[in-house]
Amino acid sequence: MPTLHHLNHSRSQRILWLFAEIGLDYDIQPHFRDPKTGLAPDSLKAIFDLGRSPVVTLDDDVHTTLGESGAIVEYFAQTHPARQLTIAPNDPFYSQYLYWLHFAEGTMMPPLIANLVLGKAKTKKKPFLIKAIADKVIDAILNAYYAPNNEQNIAHVEKHLAQQVAQGSDFFVGDKLTTADFMMLFPLEAMVASAPKSMPSHIVGYVNRMHQRPAYQQALQAGGEYNFGPKNAA
């Protein structure tokens, strides 16, 4: 039985949702962020050198420790083919499927993380004169690169989801749930949670649809407190 090392308020919520959709039996080992720094605890380093989550310990012959949420999602989707969460190379949607599967971490997440980190840097206490200069530098970096990239990404995703809805699909690719959905939901729900009134309608609608899935609700119960889940969740 695999063991998921689950960090609160993190990408490992994707894996809980995946396991619930598959109906997989697993063990869960919770880890909790430092309340002051927001960083992962040292307990994760005992499992995985980088000390990051998600991490899954597999019950294979060599007791593999597998990191990276994308790799974990692909591993379990491919080793549980009956759930049909992947798209085959001969499918006309295959190229689109690969694109969104990798877009989440390759394009969507970097400017979001940069905005988060630089935003924290602005709020950190500094001497007055240093703060004024530092804040101007941070704003210049955000305005010149990360903020425009983030806005372009949002518009790109919104356009695609609008097309999907027009074609009668609730999902990112084709007309079924795939691993692309597990990967894309995390950045989108994080943005909706942080700025619900500024997010365009199709992104908000997509996040709400995924949040309403019974397996997603089951994953929330399994993982506990999660900042980016539906606000009315227990």
- What was the pLDDT predicted at 229? 87
Share of the chain above pLDDT 70, in %: 85
DSSP character string of 156-170:
HHHHHHHHHHHTT-S
User: Bridge-partner residues for 29, per DSSP?
Assistant: 5
- What was the pLDDT predicted at 168? 97
Quick one: average pLDDT of 185-206? 93
Q: Is the pLDDT of residue 95 over 80?
A: yes
Work out the mean pLDDT of the chain and round it to a whole number. Answer: 88
- What was the pLDDT predicted at 234? 39
Token duo for residue 138: 């941070």
Q: Alpha-carbon dihedral of residues 219, 220, 221, 222, nearest 10 degrees?
A: 50
Q: How confident is the model at residue 139 (pLDDT cuts 50, 70, 90)?
A: low
Contact predicate 217/205, CB 8 Å: no
Q: Is the pLDDT of residue 49 over 60?
A: yes
Task: Enumerate the domain spans of the chain.
Answer: 3-83, 94-213
Contact predicate 178/172, CB 8 Å: yes
156 DSSP 8-state letter: H
CATH of domain 94-213: 1.20.1050.10
Assess whether the region 3-83 and the region 94-213 belong to the same CATH fold.
Answer: no
Find, among 90, 107, 96, the residue nearest to 180 by Cα. Answer: 96
Q: How confident is the model at residue 64 (pLDDT cuts 50, 70, 90)?
A: confident
Q: Is the pLDDT of residue 1 over 70?
A: yes
What is d(CA 218, CA 57) in angstroms, rounded to the nearest whole number?
Answer: 21
Higher pLDDT, 122 or 14: 14
- What was the pLDDT predicted at 137? 62
User: For the chain, how many helices (H) and strands (E)?
Assistant: 9, 4
What is d(CA 113, CA 8) in angstroms, rounded to the nearest whole number?
Answer: 17
Q: Is the pLDDT of residue 20 over 70?
A: yes
Find, among 89, 96, 82, the residue nearest to 169 by Cα. Answer: 96
In the chain, at which residue ranges do the beta strands (DSSP E only) sit? 3-7, 27-31, 55-57, 65-67
CATH architecture of 3-83: 3-Layer(aba) Sandwich (3.40)
Q: Is the pLDDT of residue 22 over 50?
A: yes
Q: Alpha-carbon dihedral of residues 51, 55, 58, 64, nearest 10 degrees?
A: -40
- What was the pLDDT predicted at 130? 63
Q: Is the pLDDT of residue 231 over 80?
A: no
Q: How confident is the model at residue 133 (pLDDT cuts 50, 70, 90)?
A: low
- What was the pLDDT predicted at 233? 44
Query: 29 in helix, strand or coil?
Result: strand
Quick one: average pLDDT of 194-223? 95
What is d(CA 163, CA 157) in angstroms, rounded to the nearest whole number?
Answer: 10
Quick one: average pLDDT of 18-30? 96
What is d(CA 152, CA 108) in angstroms, rounded to the nearest whole number?
Answer: 10
